[in-house]
Amino acid sequence: MASFAEILLFLTLCWPFLAGIALIATGRPGTDESGTDHDTVMLRLPFAVIGLLLTVLNLPLAVYMTVTGSSTAHFWLIETPVAVLGSMILYGGLLSENLALCPRTGRSLAVLERARPFWTTGLIVVAVFFADPLAKMAILLLASILRVLLIDGGQGRAVAGWTVLRTKASGALLVLAGLLCPGTSASGVLAGIGYAVLTGLFPVSAFPEEADNARLPDIRNMGETVRASAGALLLASVLSASPLPSESSAIFSLTLISFGFVTVFVTSFRMQFAGASADIRLSQGLNVSQGCLALGAIAAGLNLPMVTCFALIPPVLTLPWLARSEMTAASDLSGRLAEWTAGLLPFITVLIILYVMTTYSVILALALTIIVLPAIRRGGRDLIPLMNGIRPGAFSRSTVAQRDAPISSVPELRD
Amino acid sequence: MTLALALLPLFAFLTVVIGPAVLPVQGLLTAISVVTLHHMNPDFNTRRMLFVACVALAISIVPTWKLGTYIEESRRSGASVALFLALFLSFAACVSLPAGELVHISFILPVNPSAITISLMVVFAGLAGLAVRPGIRDQFAGLLTACDGILLAAANTQQTRAVWIVGSCILLLAAAGLWLTQRLSLLREISAAEQDGGS
């Protein structure tokens, strides 16, 4: 059993890198101008599905080995159910991004651009599975460096790349300093602030606005960003349990919770003052995702790694759909599904967190309720179309014809 | 506490104020400190120590050499704020980390308690420069200073193999930062050359 689990884990960790290499090998431009793009799309989806399947197969093994108490450590890696769940979410985000990008085959991607999400996601998953906290942090930083090298190599993107690298590097160096310089309090504070910076809690933004003319971030950058933030949060949720000593662990939790609270407050404010515009779904979706990251940080501080995983589902899975539907069919079934997921799952997360938090402090739970209530109302109105009075009967196909250009991209697919 | 260790925070503050020109001295001091730490504790792994020292030398000498061809930025704005922030953070680190209580607390056993405070001061100085200074060369110098502090702290622990990964990651970080800095500084070099040609 143990050797089987080891082989499966090894395959899971190797798969994205092999898939990326295969995508590069098959996607050489110039061989066949009409067929190449279509071929890589046909390859990308199965590759992402296989990655997700391998991780799903890992889950029962990890649960079994944890329940029976057998050794879950393989060489440098450690296989816990939380890590497997987190990697499932990350691979799910990869699949969701590839699915959402599927109809845009007309715009050909660069060769490296096709393989990049596989590589960065693979590095983040490796970081989640590593046993040593220092090595975890280093691998996560490596994923950010790879992202900057591959995305921002183009002309005119150096400032954006430096901004990302600066934020991620300062967060990672803070965490490393906190882990390497053990003290009673300073270690917890430093690691907490570092993880907050990496996740994109309040003083920094998880979704920084692009420097050039695009007001909202590009869909592919957004997937990268949200997956890196989710990876940092997963590392934080695992860290707050084990390797820090008890006192600095308490301070670490406190730091994460306070950063999460401030971020939820600011995001709730921002959601109230989001002006009505054409892309309100995307901007509110970004706000909701930021709020979900903050809720995940609160859950990580409360030492609930499973709830952190649950809070990470909506941003990682739905954000590509919310970004895409603005330019293509708004009445897609999966787009609707993404809207409902982004609207409902954070609400359930808030309920779980409130349920746990009342045992610690009633005042904090009341404060969280007061902070979150207006955001829930506004988010429900903007995201879930049934509550939106302008769009009644959104599920019926008859209303689709009234909206302008909803299915315009589908014929392009057939061409 | 050796002389190299004692001089290290001073040069970190100088790097925050002056920029990348002071970096080689600081990298040299870091490497000397790492090697001295190894000499004081002979049970350390020699190859690991040498690797950390080489990384410290590489990330401070190569960027300075590569960036030397580019023109200095004339404005020095933000230096006093960065210096004040660095001094404040270092003071806080010194106050909050009395050296006596450090040992036998954490899962990573520190070897030389005074080196921990020094490395924290260096990291704080670097991060203050990275956060406050507006010019990209100064920010990059701050980043490399913080990396030096991390390397010193990593050499100071009994931590086993993670040092290799952290060291290589810092090398890659410095390379990526150097690449971006060169791309962002190129324009200034051309304009300065044109000014020289015109005048």
CB-CB under 8 Å, B169 with A180: no
Among A266, A265, A290, CA closest to A200:
A290
Cβ neighbours of B119 in A, within 8 Å: 177, 180-181
Indicate the pTM of the whole model: 0.84
A155, A180, A197, A249: which to substitute to probe chain B, counting the most B Cβ within 10 Å? Answer: A180
CB-CB under 8 Å, B143 with A169: yes
Handedness of CA A204, A381, A313, A393 (dihedral sign): negative
Tell me the pLDDT band of A102, cut-offs 50, 70 and 90: low
CA distance A364 to A264: 13
What the block records as the tokens of A27 is 């996607």
pLDDT digits (tens, 9 = 90+) for B154-169: 887 766 678 888 899 9
Alpha helices of A152-279 — where are they, by DSSP H?
158-180, 186-199, 219-239, 246-272
Nearest to A170 among B131, B168, B169 (CB): B131
**Who contacts A405 (Cβ-Cβ below 8 Å, separation ≥6)?**
none
Question: Span B92-101, mean pLDDT?
Answer: 66
**Who contacts A360 (Cβ-Cβ below 8 Å, separation ≥6)?**
A302
pLDDT digits (tens, 9 = 90+) for A163-172: 888 889 999 9
Higher pLDDT residue, A274 or A405? A274
Cβ neighbours of A166 in B, within 8 Å: 130, 139, 143
What DSSP letter does each residue of A376-399 carry, written as one string?
A: HHHHHHHH-GGG-TTSTTTTSGGG
Does residue A93 contact residue A227 with C-beta atoms inside 8 Å?
yes
CB-CB under 8 Å, B180 with A180: no
**Range ranked top by mean pLDDT from A107-111, A151-155, B103-107:** A151-155
Please give the single-letter amino acid code of residue A138: A
Cβ neighbours of A139 in B, within 8 Å: 165, 169
Q: How many CB pairs under 8 A join A and B?
A: 122
What the block records as the tokens of B27 is 């990298």
pLDDT digits (tens, 9 = 90+) for A65-81: 878 877 667 777 888 88
For residue A135, what pLDDT is reported?
A: 86
Our measurement of the distance from residue A168's CA atom to the centroid of its chain's CA atoms, rounded to an integer in Å, reads 15
SS3 A303: coil
Position A411 pLDDT exceeds 70: no
CB-CB under 8 Å, B123 with A177: yes
In percent, the amount of chain A with pLDDT more than 70 equals 76
SS3 A74: strand
| Shortest alpha-carbon distance between residue A267 and chain B (Å) | 23
A137, A176, A189, A246: which to substitute to probe chain B, counting the most B Cβ within 10 Å? Answer: A176
pLDDT digits (tens, 9 = 90+) for A343-364: 888 888 889 999 988 888 888 8
Cβ neighbours of B113 in A, within 8 Å: none
For residue A27, what pLDDT is reported?
A: 67
Our measurement of the distance from residue B61's CA atom to the centroid of its chain's CA atoms, rounded to an integer in Å, reads 11
For residue B169, what pLDDT is reported?
A: 92
SS3 B160: coil
For residue A407, what pLDDT is reported?
A: 38
CB-CB under 8 Å, A177 with B177: no
Tell me the pLDDT band of B172, cut-offs 50, 70 and 90: very high
